[in-house]
Amino acid sequence: MHYYQIAGILVTLFAPKLGAIVDKLRPSMGITIVSFLGALVTWLLINSGNIWIFAALSLLDMTIMITASLIFQNLVSRITVEHRGKILGTGEFFTFLGSVIGPILGGIVWDFIGPKFPFVISIFVELSLIPLYLVVVYYLIPHLAETYSIENEKKSRRKINNT
């Protein structure tokens, strides 16, 4: 139990650096990378036999989860004020729905199939959600107050460097 507290503190300390990395990525690219990495780390977690490797992979998995959250927050922060509340509310609804349904279904699968299968299902869910995330990003792009063009990023970097 204490490991999760230590890992949470360490990952929180990494958050500013992760935020700087997320600012440089387009949301579709970031979501795809984070989803693939999350699935890979989950697969490695299930197959790890050493407690120290498991602990290191858990820390990496928490870091990936925070990065995914930062990518979503970065995207939502660029949505116009008119639509921001609806998008935030919908995102929170699905987050909390997953927080309720996931453990229930995971427990049922654990009891009836086996202890590794909830994690295997998690891998497939994570990979199958990539197209859904990309569709959501595609539909959100027209409602952004600020775009992700490379020229805008170069201009903002020049302004920062000149100050």
Please choose, from the candidates 60, 57, 72, 85, the residue with its C-alpha nearest in 3D space to the C-alpha of residue 25.
72
Domain boundaries, the chain: 2-148
The verdict on pTM exceeding 0.85 is no
Q: Where are the beta strands (DSSP E) in the chain?
A: none
For domain 2-148, give the CATH number. Answer: 1.20.1250.20
Per-residue CA distances from 124 to 31, 82, 129, 163 (Å): 15, 35, 8, 47
Residues of the chain short of pLDDT 70, as ranges, are 1-4, 147-163
pLDDT at 37: 93
Please choose, from the candidates 105, 104, 103, 98, the residue with its C-alpha nearest in 3D space to the C-alpha of residue 126.
98
pLDDT at 69: 83
Q: For residue range 85-94, what is the model confidence (pLDDT) as tens digits?
A: 888 888 889 8
